[in-house]
Amino acid sequence: MDLRGHGESGKPSYGYRISRLAMDVKQLLDALELEDVILLGWSMGCSVV
């Protein structure tokens, strides 16, 4: 997935705190009903994961 403000995702003027980005990931996993996943982050993505 592209985090908000990156790649093809939307670019809102707010919501760029690590906690908000982490919630975006959680909401995606919940929406896809995924429970047993492995997450890998690079750079800032490590903090998000």
pLDDT in tens, 6-43: 899 989 999 999 999 999 999 999 999 999 999 999 99
Q: Is 46 left (phi over 0), alpha (psi -120 to 50) or beta?
A: alpha
Asked whether the beta carbons of 10 and 4 are under 8 A apart, the reply is yes
CA count, 13 A, side-chain hemisphere, 5: 10
pLDDT at 1: 87
Q: Give the integer Cα–Cα distance in Å for 46 and 8.
A: 20
Show the tokens assigned to 13.
Answer: 């003027």
At residue 23, the 3 state secondary structure works out as helix
